[in-house]
Amino acid sequence: MEKLIFKKFFIDTTIFLIIGTLSLTLIVWVIQAVNYLDFVSEDGHSFKVYFLYTLLNFPKIFSKLFIFMIFITIFYTVNKYEENNELTIFWTNGIKKKEFINLIIKFSYFLVIVQLLLNLFLVPKTQDLARSFIRASNVDYFPSLMKSKKFISVVEDLTLFIDKKNDDGEFENIFLKESKLNNSSQIISAKKGSLKKINNEYFLTLFQGNIIDKNDDNINIISYDKTRISLSNYTTKTTTYPKIQELNTNLLIKCLIKVFKFNEPFKVSNLTCDEQSAYMIIEEMYKRLIVPFYIIIVSIVGSSLIINSGNENSYTSKKKYIFFVGIIFIILSQVLSQYSSDPSLKNFSFMLSPFLLACLFYTVLQFKLKE
């Protein structure tokens, strides 16, 4: 009988968790896909690249919602069992509350492993793959960038402003600023201009303006009637720098070892491994390695509904409180990760926090069951 009851609980929670998480992920994914449509269209990527990029963000959204849905699943399942008097049937058939709570906690161990696999391998891999699609795509973004009344800085080392864009494609009152090495820069202004594509290369032709070259304390101003600028060497920032969240876990660990053990700054896969980036990596590794263990905490909190099973008045009054505590711990798991890389704090205490909280809650739960 016990095996049948435990099997029923496993099936009910698994089905609700999978369907619930996928449904909520799909809703968030659609909302983000709309935002990405504007982001990608500005860079001139094809619909295929846009679709693949948004699709590969699905595991990331799923992973972020997983802990929340685990708590909702356990809370909902236990509450449904109580309202349908199924828990009462369990107790009358010899199932002890302590055994049922331990079952939920053991189930959470499996869910922790799933979350770790998502965080350490699947999500970074899909994020890196999504970025690679953008990097490798044949970008034709300059025509879409040319918008009036808007400062455009998505292009690396270049800021562009166009006061007016005419129907014939010509521009009026153009401003460009190019940042160069050694704190030097070049500012170009023009009354008129146009964008043309010649042999798969874009050129910006400017008329009646000035070129200001600034190098340290020296400033040179050159006036011109017509000049042409090649835009072939410019790329968008989105295709240049991969985020730390997209990098392989092994690479991040290697970076930390090099910086803290050997104190050797180095660059690998567009990531400069130094002390500054190391603290950012610590925060990311905290999210990947430590946050999943909050699943055990929220599982303990959700299963604490069982303590008041059979006592209608006590159960009803404690239900809202337990739900609120569970949500607080989910928020706490994200908030603590923001401070995990703070060098002024003892990172070790942050690393241990979910384990200590889990032990504390489990101890309180066992104490309540003995009352």
| Burial class of 311 by CB neighbour count within 10 A (0 to 12, 13 to 18, 19+) | exposed
C-alpha separations of 307 from 64, 91, 230 in Å: 29, 12, 72
The predicted structure's pLDDT at residue 56: 93
What is the token pair recorded at 270? 């567009």
The predicted structure's pLDDT at residue 94: 85
Tell me which range, 186-195, 237-246, 252-261, is most confidently predicted by mean pLDDT: 186-195
CA distance 282 to 227: 49
* Weakest-pLDDT range from 23-27, 144-148, 248-252: 144-148
The predicted structure's pLDDT at residue 78: 95
**Who wins on pLDDT, 35 or 154?**
35
Is it the case that residue 302 has pLDDT exceeding 90? yes
Percentage, residues of the chain above pLDDT 70? 84
Angle at 225 between CA 224 and CA 226, to 5 degrees: 95
The predicted structure's pLDDT at residue 154: 62
Determine the average pLDDT of the residues in 194-222.
85
Is it the case that residue 350 has pLDDT exceeding 80? no
CA distance 192 to 174: 7
Domain boundaries, the chain: 2-137+243-370, 142-235
3-state secondary structure labels for all residues of 101-152: HHHHHHHHHHHHHHHHHHHHHHHHHHHHHHHHHHHHCCCCCHHHHCCECCCE
Contact residues for 238 (Cβ-Cβ < 8 A; gap 6+): 39, 43, 134, 154
* Weakest-pLDDT range from 54-63, 81-90, 272-281: 272-281
Is it the case that residue 314 has pLDDT exceeding 90? no
Tell me which range, 165-169, 175-179, 188-192, 307-311, is most confidently predicted by mean pLDDT: 188-192
Q: Please give the DSSP secondary-structure letter assigned to residue 76.
A: H
**Bridge partners (DSSP) listed for residue 188:** 176, 211
Is it the case that residue 250 has pLDDT exceeding 60? yes
The predicted structure's pLDDT at residue 71: 97
Is it the case that residue 236 has pLDDT exceeding 70? no
Is it the case that residue 265 has pLDDT exceeding 60? yes
139 — pLDDT class (breaks 50, 70, 90): low
Q: Which of 343, 251, 341 is nearest to 290 (CA)?
A: 341
- Centre a 10 Å sphere on the Cβ of residue 232 and count the other Cβ atoms it contains: 11
The predicted structure's pLDDT at residue 269: 62
**Who wins on pLDDT, 13 or 240?**
13
The predicted structure's pLDDT at residue 262: 67
CA distance 339 to 145: 37
The predicted structure's pLDDT at residue 181: 66
CA distance 207 to 204: 10
152 — pLDDT class (breaks 50, 70, 90): confident
Is it the case that residue 295 has pLDDT exceeding 80? yes
Determine the average pLDDT of the residues in 246-260.
84
Mean pLDDT of the chain: 83
73 — pLDDT class (breaks 50, 70, 90): very high
The predicted structure's pLDDT at residue 204: 87
